Amino acid sequence: MAIFVDNKTRILVQGITGTQASFHVKKSMDYGTKIVAGVTPRKGGEQHLGVPIFNTVKEAVESTKATVSLMFVPARQVLSAVMEGVEAELETMVCITEHVPVRDMLEIKAVLRGSKTKLIGPNTPGIITPGQARLGVFPINIHKPGRIGVVSRSSTLTYAAVIETTLAGLGQSTVVGLGDDMMVGTDFIDVLKAFHEDKNTDVIVMVGKIGGQFEEVAAEYYKTIPNKKPIVAFVAGSAVPFGHDMGYAGELVSYGQHTVQDKIDVMRKAGIIVMDNSNDIHKELQKIISKC
């Protein structure tokens, strides 16, 4: 079992005919991912990579019964692409695109609210359930099936966290990149909830970063879970001087939380094991598993 995607999930790709999409979709198909449709306006009726192309998401869903979308579309088209997916009542949409306008993301959040659709990203490496399905740009060789769930706000450190599970002699149930942008569709809470409901996830690795309050909000949620699974976490950015301009609005932190250390303190009070060095994650995982 896994969260969000597995080898039975029927997936459509928005923007499948693009260069980057073609490269990564081919890798995912070779991996065993069930890509059943592509969506590219004005190319309906054609085929690409052996996959039928449709003009709209609705047509693709009606014809192939796809439930998940992977988006390789230009930033300015993400809003309309998400609206198509919501209208077609997709379960999950994964947006690889970066530089989506904040104004568009505000509208996207409003569209998603109350819908049946969850959005992973934008600016995410995607989702991978090792040995079953790969949606995005994850390097294949570092992943292997296991029982450690990984969720991260930092694309680069997502890979580091995966490597840490490997060093611990373990593998991953599912790996989810929330996205690097200050405003994303899905937060830690949605993923932590899914991992806690997944019988094949024993421990969770959570990677946060400076900026925003994603980690504090997740910590407050974690305190409310009756039967908690262990979470081993790391928050990137402790070396950044306080007050340094990060160049994006996500660094503006409110509600009295101002530094990485503030995040760490809140997380530890909630019972989350926070490592000072990401290279020590595998040691803590080994301790936890040895007690199981």
How high is the pLDDT of residue 258? 57
Task: Round the average pLDDT of the chain to a whole number and report it.
Answer: 92
Looking at the structure, do residues 175 and 34 belong to the same domain, yes or no? Answer: no
Structural domain count of the chain: 2
Looking at the structure, do residues 113 and 212 belong to the same domain, yes or no? Answer: no
Q: Evaluate whether residue 131 is within a structural domain.
A: no
pLDDT in tens, 194-210: 999 999 999 999 999 98
Q: Evaluate whether residue 135 is within a structural domain.
A: no
Q: Which residue has the higher pLDDT, 257 or 238?
A: 238
Q: Evaluate whether residue 128 is within a structural domain.
A: no
Q: Evaluate whether residue 125 is within a structural domain.
A: no
pLDDT in tens, 157-197: 999 999 999 999 999 999 999 999 989 999 999 999 999 99
pLDDT in tens, 118-132: 999 999 999 999 999
How high is the pLDDT of residue 128? 98
Looking at the structure, do residues 48 and 107 belong to the same domain, yes or no? Answer: yes
How high is the pLDDT of residue 89? 98
Per-residue pLDDT band at 257 (split at 50, 70, 90): very low
In total, the chain counts a number of residues equal to 292
- Looking at the whole model, is its pTM more than 0.85? yes
How high is the pLDDT of residue 268? 98
Find the range with the poorest average confidence among 108-117, 132-141, 283-292.
Answer: 283-292
In sequence order, the 6+-apart residues with CB closer than 8 A to the CB of 247 are none
Range of the structural domain that residue 116 is part of = 11-120
CATH number assigned to the domain comprising residue 57: 3.40.50.720
Looking at the structure, do residues 148 and 113 belong to the same domain, yes or no? Answer: no
Looking at the structure, do residues 148 and 254 belong to the same domain, yes or no? Answer: yes
Read out DSSP for 4-71? S--TT--EEEETTTSHHHHHHHHHHHHHT--EEEEE-TT-TT-EETTEEEESSHHHHHHHH---EEEE
Residue 213: is its pLDDT beyond 80? yes
Looking at the structure, do residues 148 and 250 belong to the same domain, yes or no? Answer: yes
Q: Evaluate whether residue 57 is within a structural domain.
A: yes
Residue 237: is its pLDDT beyond 90? no
Q: Which residue reads 């039928």 in tokens?
A: 52
Q: Evaluate whether residue 134 is within a structural domain.
A: no
How high is the pLDDT of residue 273? 98
How high is the pLDDT of residue 200? 93
Which strands make up the sheet holding 126-129, listed edge to edge?
A: 133-136, 126-129, 172-177, 145-152, 203-209, 231-236, 273-274
